[in-house]
Amino acid sequence: MSCHAVKAKAFLKNEERALWHDKALYAVREKRDRQAYSLPEWESLREQASQIKERVLGNLADYLEEFERNATRNGIKVHWAESGEEMNAIVAQIIKEKGAKHLVKSKSMLAEECHLAPYLEERGVEVVESDLGERIVQLMECAPSHIVLPAIHIKREEVGELFEEKLSTEKGNSDPTYLTHEARKHLRKKFLNADISMTGVNFAIASEGVFAVCTNEGNADMGTAFTDTHIAIMGLEKIVPDMESLAVFTRLLARSATGQPITTYTALYRQPEEGKEIHLIIVDNGRTKSLADAEHRTMLKCMRCGACMNTCPVYRRTGGYSYSYFIPGPLGINLGMLRSPEAYGGNVSGCSLCYSCSGVCPAKVDLAEQIYKWRQQMAPLGVADSKKKMIVKAMNLMMRNPRLMNAGVAVAPYIPRFVYNNGINPWCASGREMPHFAKKSFRVLWNEGKIKR
């Protein structure tokens, strides 16, 4: 069994929880649907987003340079990092130069990708996640299980217990409003105490040298307002050409992500205030390698909305931790393979090829088609499952020899059912009966002249 299959099975042992997880995320998908159906131009917006991203990826170097020129002119200090380590080192260096000790950050999947928080903590910097969901998983010392809803796998009672222990909230009170207020009070202190802030970047607008940060809690804005130094980190695919294209993406992003017309806060950073600094680090960390991979470069069109996770019937029923890559779902299966087939090949089985992800993606990333392609590459890459290979070999033998197949089909109905309809057969073991072989196959009936008009 693949590593995803093993963990998925374990997750499904707790049926009630799996059902709850599935419902919670499907509700997000339905919210997204309502938004998508309410815009007559929805499908054309998706097409525009896809084309804009294609154009950007086709001329990425030019757009990046244009962005750098304009951002620098605006007074933003632009840095380049080839790898995650390099990004972390640049961040640490800026923090050191500023003599800072308390970093307050908003959500960034790039920070997770590069393991930034542990890196800084090892160097004596306090890192506080200011997004509520992120703060919850940080206090729980676990990883986000979803890229937009990092704590979606945690029930509110569990948050109550966590806050009781870490924030000394009232015993047994898991009222969401109460807990949110308490978290807010706690975070307010952290904001006041912070001496440096960090955000991710949702979109970097090349023609303006401006970058956009989208949040629902205003926590990015709060952090950057309170501190004198703002470090922003972005993957180099985050470029959009101009403000018109930004409008396309902001219309799609929140609708796809959480079913809101737009994120509550969409902040555009153009230039630092007097006496303050904005540092922007543009990070490659494998992205140019993906760009060079003609089969899979389409993944770079992703705007990290998470819709493909919410719609994925496998993700919803197996949770984020069933995937070995830090990003789960259809997106994570693909990005994991781009990162390392050896390390993350065990996620590729976690897909029934229903293609719902491809239909939901606002940037028209063909996620399911990509997974299908990766499956074809598993054997050549040497990471295929050997059992599966054997099953396919057996099928090949049968199906390439009609006489063999026909003989098999003829004897099958005479084999006592218990021989194959039992707990050893994985088809049955997990809760399904085997189908029944017909006494006479269609072919036999045809040959006997029994198939009539």
Partner 1 sequence: MRVALFVPCFVNALYPEVGEASYKLLTSLGLDVDYPLEQTCCGQPMGNAGYEKDAEPLAERMEALFAEYDYVVGPSASCVSFVREAYPRLSHHKGEHKCLSSRIYEICEFLHDVVKPTALEARFPHKVSLHNSCHGVRLMGLSAPSEQNIPYYSKLHNLLSLVEGVEVVEPERRDECCGFGGLFSIEESAVSVSMGRDKVARHIATGAEFITGADSSCLMHMQGVIEREKLSIRTKHIVEILTAQE
**Interface with ligand SF4 by CB under 6 A: which residues?**
256, 302-308, 331, 360-363, 365, 367
H or E stretch covering 337? helix 329-339
Of 245, 247, 249, nearest in space to 207 by CA:
245
Amino acid letter at 403?
R
* CB atoms near residue 298 (< 10 Å): 23
Asked if 171 touches partner 1 (CB under 8 A), the answer is: no
Between helices 3-13 and 15-38, what is the axis angle to 10°?
A: 100
Nearer to ligand SF4, 257 or 278 (CB): 257
Q: How far is the CB of 309 from ligand SF4 (least distance, A)?
A: 7
Q: How far is the CB of 349 from ligand SF4 (least distance, A)?
A: 19
- The token pair that represents 324 in the structure block: 């070995």
Q: How far is the CB of 177 from partner 1 (least distance, A)?
A: 30
Burial class (CB in 10 A: 0-12, 13-18, 19+), 405: middle
154 binds, among ligand SF4, partner 1, none (CB under 5 to 8 A by kind): none
Q: Do 33 and 257 form a contact (C-beta atoms < 8 A)?
A: no
Exactly one of 181, 184, 185, 432 binds partner 1 (CB under 8 A); that residue is 432
Nearer to ligand SF4, 88 or 356 (CB): 356
Q: How far is the CB of 315 from partner 1 (least distance, A)?
A: 10
Q: How far is the CB of 254 from ligand SF4 (least distance, A)?
A: 11
**What span, in angstroms and rounded, lies between the C-alpha atoms of 164 and 162?**
5
Nearer to partner 1, 176 or 261 (CB): 261
Q: Do 377 and 340 form a contact (C-beta atoms < 8 A)?
A: no
Q: Give the range of 89-97, 170-178, 243-251, 440-448 binding partner 1 by CB under 8 A.
A: 440-448
156 binds, among partner 1, ligand SF4, none (CB under 5 to 8 A by kind): none
Burial class (CB in 10 A: 0-12, 13-18, 19+), 301: buried
Q: How far is the CB of 194 from ligand SF4 (least distance, A)?
A: 29
Q: Do 361 and 310 form a contact (C-beta atoms < 8 A)?
A: no
Q: How far is the CB of 147 from ligand SF4 (least distance, A)?
A: 7
Asked if 420 touches partner 1 (CB under 8 A), the answer is: no
Of 430, 413, 412, 410, nearest in space to 422 by CA:
430
**What span, in angstroms and rounded, lies between the C-alpha atoms of 233 and 335?**
19
Q: Contact letters (x/-) for partner 1, 26-45, by CB under 8 A?
A: x------x--xx-xx-xx--
3-state secondary structure of 270: coil
Write b or e for each residue in 414-441: b if 16 or more Cβ atoms lie within 10 A of its Cβ, otherwise e. eeeeeeebeeeeeeeeeeeeeeebeeeb
Asked if 441 touches partner 1 (CB under 8 A), the answer is: yes
Nearer to partner 1, 61 or 381 (CB): 381
Pick left, alpha or beta for residue 306 (phi over 0 → left; psi -120 to 50 → alpha; otherwise beta). Answer: left
152 binds, among ligand SF4, partner 1, none (CB under 5 to 8 A by kind): none
Q: How far is the CB of 154 from partner 1 (least distance, A)?
A: 21
333 binds, among ligand SF4, partner 1, none (CB under 5 to 8 A by kind): none
Asked if 453 touches partner 1 (CB under 8 A), the answer is: yes
Which of positions 357-416 make contact with partner 1 (CB under 8 A)? 358-360, 372, 375-379, 384-385, 388-389, 391-392, 395-396, 398-400, 402, 405, 409, 412
> Would strands 102-105 and 277-283 be described as parallel, antiparallel, or unpaired?
unpaired
Nearer to partner 1, 167 or 409 (CB): 409
- The token pair that represents 400 in the structure block: 């390439």
**What span, in angstroms and rounded, lies between the C-alpha atoms of 55 and 238?**
13
Of 237, 251, 333, nearest in space to 282 by CA:
237
Q: How far is the CB of 307 from ligand SF4 (least distance, A)?
A: 4
255 binds, among partner 1, ligand SF4, none (CB under 5 to 8 A by kind): none
Q: Give the range of 7-15, 93-101, 133-141, 280-288 binding partner 1 by CB under 8 A.
A: 7-15
Q: Do 405 and 397 form a contact (C-beta atoms < 8 A)?
A: no
Nearer to ligand SF4, 81 or 371 (CB): 371
Exactly one of 27, 89, 247, 429 binds partner 1 (CB under 8 A); that residue is 429
Q: Contact letters (x/-) for partner 1, 274-313, by CB under 8 A?
A: -------------------------------------x-x
